[in-house]
Amino acid sequence: MGHSDDIRALFQGYQVHRDVYISNDIYEFEMKHLFANTWVFLGHDSQTPNKGDYYTTQIGDQPVIMVRHTDDQIHVLLNRCPHKGTKIAIDRTGNTGKFFRCPYHAWSFKTDGCLLAIPLKKGYQDTGFENNQNTKGMTPVGAVKNYRGFIFARLNPEGVGFEEFFGDSLSTLDNMVDRAPEGRLEVAGPPLRYMHRCNWKMLLENQTDTCHPMVAHESSAGTAIKIFEEMGSPSPRPPAMQIIAPFMSPYEFFEGMGIRTWPNGHGHTGVNMSIHSDYDAIPGYFEAMCDAYGEEKAKTILDDNRHNTIYFPNIMAKGPLQQIRNFIPLAADKTLVESWVYRLVGAPDQLIAMSSMYNRMINAPTSIVGHDDLEMYERAQEGLRTNSSDWVNLQRLYGEDEDYSKEAVENGTTERQMRNQFDAWVKFMTYDMDKTTAEQT
Amino acid sequence: MEDMTQHITRDDIIDFIYQEARMLDEGRYDEWLSLWLESGIYWMPLDYKQSDPINATSLLYEDHFMLRLRVERLNGARTFSQKPKSRCHHVLQRPFVDVFEPLEGRFQTNTSVHYVETRLDEQILLALTVTHDLKIDDGKLKIAGKKVELLNSDAAFGNIQLLP
Ligand SMILES: [Fe+2]
């Protein structure tokens, strides 16, 4: 294992080997290759509005610090003192002033990582210290991109550029930001943090799995509809009827929603309309949008009701609700899901109230819809240990001539986006693999 | 229950808080729902010391419809995450009665609680501070609001399926 052919053999057109979910070795390769070769979401620049503000997070299994430098740019540094390995920042967020100072031996670094000072430095004279790689300072990641406030980074210095990697999929983030009359977002509070004992890719696949809601969520959405009807279908409908009940929509509805896939593993449900299309209008919002953009453009922005957009490898964005879910891998069978919502600057407060409500009703560890989903993931994680088959099926509406390097729009119940993700998975797992293996041998 | 308006005591308030916890522990959810005013809200903040329940994410901010939905869902034939069912256990410190205004029919308590929830081989322990707003409605004490603050609300949790 570890050669690109071994990785390629795990994905065969319409099926994927169970090891991609349960093998610790594969997980280690994902951390070393997939999460180093791809552009990974870190956060939003409104989390660090002032110089010296930082936020600690991770890219794959690498702890990093996202910090606003004195030039007002966001820098991303590996969260390790080059001296003894001590983590420089422990709290999730804070302000470090003009420099980081390691709490162990007081080595200090500018917020772009450059070494600033070492106490009693004369002790290193004539030791060859200055030739040591570790004295360069805190190591920056390979590349950072601030896209309309969203911060992405690539660990490897070499690789596919940001625009080429995401291509036209950036239209979902554009739509999310364009929905703000002032054209920008602000983070609204901390994220929900929901621990899942399953592989991170199960969450990713579920985002465009349109044949599960009416089955797995019958307990929540079906019961909501039953209670509502027992109450005599009152108007205005309770918020849960706007948010949870559409999960019970029939197969035909989800077929008609449509799915679009883009190259490099990105894609979205809700091409034509979605379960987010039938929300009550919020007074004053359309007017604010018309003032900002003119009526025609305002309508174009607001008529786009995409459901879930996958930004490969591990986030999902909901444009109409200004929400990002980050599927953070912690082990082959452990994933932390962080669900964020953002305020549309210039929009009425009811918009962020709606996003916050959706977030707690659907994405919280206390959410009944969340309970429905997690039960399925954890059962799958356990069921995949059985030796009856090595393969997980992704065959719905499969065509042998599928070309994932081209954008495509298809029936909303296709599993093409899941196949698209594994096509990209193979590509970015193996992107630097043969090279590294050759170096090692 | 007799009309409480005339001669309600602090002990009546405290007994009510204990009885509510016992109903949850014994799974007497229909009785528990009947303790609530229709306008009552169950709030569990996400951020430590969160002040705004609506314009930032909360863990729970449940109206009567959502509470009823939760309760009915627990017994649903296709509620797979409750096969087998979860169980819970509350240990209460004696509630402080912070507001006692019988003439207005308004009361508020503050209660420290250790809450245990279990299903299959998993068991979690949560440390809670619970604030109850109570009112007298039609001669009976009712829950007008319940705020449940988790000591570690900013931690990552697996499922919390029942209502602390
Ligand atoms: Fe689901």
Does residue B84 have a cis peptide bond before it, meaning omega lies within 30 degrees of 0? yes
> How does the average pLDDT of chain A come out, rounded?
96
Q: Which residues contact B110 (CB under 8 A, 6 or more apart)?
A: B95, B96, B98, B129, B130, B131
Dihedral of CA atoms A74, A347, A367, A20 in degrees, nearest 10, equals: -40
Q: What is the pLDDT of residues A95-114, one digit of tens each?
A: 999 999 999 999 999 999 99
B91 is a domain residue: yes
Residue A55 has pLDDT above 70, yes or no: yes
Mean pLDDT value across residues A162-181: 98
Q: Does B39 touch chain A (CB under 8 A)?
A: no
Judge whether residue A440 has pLDDT over 90: no
Q: What is the pLDDT of residue B103?
A: 93
Report whether pLDDT(B2) > 70.
no
Q: Which residues pair with A362 in a beta bridge?
A: none
- Total domains in chain B come to 1
- Among the partner residues A188, A191, A365, nearest to B158 by beta-carbon distance: A365
Q: Is the model's pLDDT at A430 over the cut of 90?
A: yes
Would you place residue B22 in the very low, low, confident or very high pLDDT band (cuts 50, 70, 90)? very high
- The whole-model pTM stands at 0.96
Per residue in B118-134, pLDDT (tens digit) is 999 999 999 999 999 99
pLDDT at residue A134, as a whole number: 76
H/E segment holding residue A21? helix A19-22
In contact, A345 and A181? CB cutoff 8 Å: yes
pLDDT bucket at A133, cuts 50 / 70 / 90? confident
Q: Which of B57, B59, B69 sits opposite A240 (nearest CB)?
A: B69
What mean pLDDT is predicted for residues B2-29?
A: 92
Chain A residues with CB-CB distance to B78 below 8 A:
218-219, 222
Q: Do B80 and A216 touch (CB under 8 A)?
A: yes
Residue-wise pLDDT for B51-74, tens only, equals: 999 999 999 999 999 999 999 999
Residue of B nearest to A349 (CA): B55
Reference A59, options A268, A310, A315, A263; nearest CA is: A315
Domain containing residue B127: CATH number: 3.10.450.50
B30 located within any domain: yes
Residue A236: the pLDDT is 92
- Whether B75 and chain A come into contact, CB under 8 Å, resolves to no
Q: Which residue of A has its CA nearest to B71?
A: A223
Considering the segment(s) A191-429 as one domain, its CATH architecture is Alpha-Beta Complex (3.90)
Q: What is the pLDDT of residue A130?
A: 87
Asked if the model's pLDDT at residue B105 lies above 60, the reply is yes
On whether residue B94 sits in a domain, the answer given is yes
In a domain, B73, yes or no: yes
- Give the residue, B4 or A216, on which the prediction is more confident: A216
Name residues whose C-beta falls within 8 Å of residue B138's C-beta, 6 or more positions apart in sequence: none
Band (A437; pLDDT cuts 50, 70, 90): low
Q: Does B61 touch chain A (CB under 8 A)?
A: yes
Chain segment A288-306, per-residue pLDDT in tens: 999 999 999 999 999 999 9
3-state class of A110 per DSSP? Answer: strand
In a domain, B159, yes or no: no
Residues A187-206 pLDDT 10s: 999 999 999 999 999 999 99
Token readout for A184 is 């920008």
Instruction: Identify whether B164 is part of a domain.
Output: no
Residue A441: per-residue pLDDT: 42
| More confident: A437 or B13 | B13
For a pLDDT cut of 90, what percent of chain B falls above it? Answer: 94
Architecture category of domain A41-147 in CATH:
3-layer Sandwich (2.102)
Query: Does the pLDDT value for residue B6 go beyond 80?
Result: no
Q: Where are the domains of chain A?
A: 41-147, 191-429
The mean pLDDT of B12-23, rounded to a whole number, is 98
Residue A434: what pLDDT?
76
B120: containing domain: 4-150
